[in-house]
Amino acid sequence: MGWFYLFLAIILEVIGTLAMKQSKGFSVLLPSCTSFAAYGSCLALVTLAVNRIDLSIVYAVWAGLGTAIISLIGVFYYKEPATLLKIISICLIIGGVIGLNLEA
């Protein structure tokens, strides 16, 4: 159940971040409310996940995969530049998450 909470938290983190982008600095009401609700729910689910999975694993997976997913959405949806450094960095984030999980 801990992994379910964690992956749901990652999805909510991504939703919250995308809503934050749409909120235009929290000046648009609906995306602003969505962002706050998604992040609040996300943190609640991370707390539940920490009760069942090691803290280091939860935080690495949550932060790492959330960052990688948002970076990829930025490249593919928002047409941000896909530089070699960005691609290598995303791969390193994913590799670090995998490495921490292999040690556990």
Model confidence pTM above 0.85: yes
Which of 11, 70, 5 has its CA nearest to residue 44?
Answer: 5
Q: Any residues with CB less than 8 A from the CB of 55 and at least 6 apart, and which? A: none
27-32's contacts with Cβ under 8 Å and 24+ in sequence apart are none
What's the structural domain count of the chain? 1
45-76 confidence digits (pLDDT tens):
999 999 999 998 999 999 999 999 999 999 99
- Tally of residues, the chain: 104
69-89 confidence digits (pLDDT tens):
999 999 999 999 999 999 999
Which of 51, 12, 53 has its CA nearest to residue 35?
Answer: 12
Residue 60: give the domain boundaries: 2-103
